[in-house]
Amino acid sequence: MSRQQDYKIQTVNTDTTVSFEPVRYDIWLSPQKDQVEVVIDKQSKYGKVSKKDTKKLLSILETP
């Protein structure tokens, strides 16, 4: 990506009885802020989120 990510999300294990490896997701907003692109850190996996799901995701991320 040509710039720093807009968001970082790290998974957290809340169940101490389960072995868990945290995963970090790097998230970029499109210039129109209507779609996000996601990269899973250290796995070289990339994807785009639909506009509908982007709207849902942003409503969660932007909640104070």
pLDDT (average), residues 13-40: 92
The band of 1, judged by pLDDT with boundaries at 50, 70 and 90, is low
3-state secondary structure of 25: strand
Structural domain including 39 reads 7-61
Q: Other CB atoms closer than 10 Å to residue 54's CB: what's the count?
A: 19
Counted domains in the chain: 1
The band of 16, judged by pLDDT with boundaries at 50, 70 and 90, is confident
Which pLDDT belongs to residue 7?
92
Residue 38 contacts residue 49 (beta carbons within 8 Å): yes
pLDDT (average), residues 51-55: 94
